[in-house]
């Protein structure tokens, strides 16, 4: 009996890009907060539309996802656009975020189980360099009323209060729960309830002046 295909590989095996090739709107709105030419880590990057967009702007981008099929589509898109993106095939439960490594971490629709999410967000804060930024957009539990994309259970979604707790150590320049129209390929397709974060890593160094 043949081995069952990874569900994300199966989703991304369609000819078209399931979530389209255009970058996420919130990422586009906040991209100026990333240091020019900085090193950026994209979590759960799928088919790579956000990573390729960032590479086109001159950032050094590493994309992590468990789907080999999705990341291959990212490389194909990057080649078409004349840029390069580094990829790492890994489940986020097994991926290590090095400390003080990244000028920005991008988490767009990265919905994982609560225990993993708590660890991941703690590691995200540690992984950012001084003045590094997190750009995050996730579905809010109210999204279950809209049914226009996202996970099927509220436990995988995020609220403002939850993220304030899990992202301790960041200064929040934006943290809000809003409703907005999301159109990203066939996967996200209408009015949606989302939670958005732009957070900056505060310096933890105490400087003594005589």
Instruction: Locate 188 and state its tokens.
Output: 């996200």
- What is the average pLDDT score of the chain? 94
Mean pLDDT across the stretch 50-64? Answer: 98
Mean pLDDT across the stretch 130-156? Answer: 97
59-62 long-range contacts, CB within 8 A, separation 24+: 59/34, 59/104, 60/86, 61/85, 61/86, 62/86, 62/87, 62/88
Half-sphere exposure of 170 (CA within 13 A, CB side): 29
The pLDDT tens digits of the residues spanning 72-83 come to 999 999 999 999
Look at 208 and 133; give whichever has higher pLDDT: 133
The pLDDT value given to residue 207: 35
The pLDDT tens digits of the residues spanning 91-124 come to 999 999 999 999 999 999 999 999 999 999 999 9
Sequence length of the chain is: 210
**Sheet order of strands, 170-184 included:** 86-89, 60-65, 39-43, 102-108, 128-139, 188-201, 170-184
Which CATH superfamily, name and number, covers 7-201?
Vaccinia Virus protein VP39 (3.40.50.150)
What proportion of the chain, given as a percentage, has pLDDT over 70? 95
The pLDDT value given to residue 3: 59
| Domain map (residue ranges) of the chain | 7-201
Beta-carbon neighbour count of residue 199 at 10 Å?
25
Tell whether the model's pLDDT for residue 154 goes beyond 80.
Answer: yes
The pLDDT value given to residue 125: 98
Instruction: Locate 98 and state its tokens.
Output: 């090095």
Look at 61 and 203; give whichever has higher pLDDT: 61
Tell whether the model's pLDDT for residue 210 goes beyond 50.
Answer: no
């Amino acid at each position: 009996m043949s081995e069952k295909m990874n569900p994300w590989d199966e989703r991304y095996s369609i000819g078209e890009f399931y979530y389209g090739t255009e970058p996420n709107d919130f990422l586009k709105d906040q991209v100026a907060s990333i240091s020019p030419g900085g090193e950026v880590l994209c979590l759960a990057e799928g088919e790579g539309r956000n990573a390729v967009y960032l590479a086109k702007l001159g950032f050094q981008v590493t994309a992590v996802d468990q789907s080999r099929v999705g990341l291959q589509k990212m490389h194909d898109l990057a080649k078409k656009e004349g840029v390069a993106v580094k990829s790492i095939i890994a489940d986020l439960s097994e991926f290590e975020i090095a400390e003080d490594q990244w000028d920005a971490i991008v988490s767009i629709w990265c919905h994982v189980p609560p225990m993993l999410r708590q660890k991941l967000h703690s590691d995200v804060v540690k992984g950012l360099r001084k003045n590094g930024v997190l750009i995050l957009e996730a579905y809010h539990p109210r999204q279950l009323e809209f049914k226009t994309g996202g996970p099927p259970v509220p436990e995988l979604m995020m609220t403002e209060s939850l993220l304030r707790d899990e992202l301790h150590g960041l200064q929040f320049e934006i943290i809000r729960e809003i409703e907005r129209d999301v159109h990203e390929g066939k996967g996200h397709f209408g009015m949606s309830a989302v939670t958005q974060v732009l957070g900056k890593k505060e310096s933890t160094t105490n400087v003594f002046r005589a």
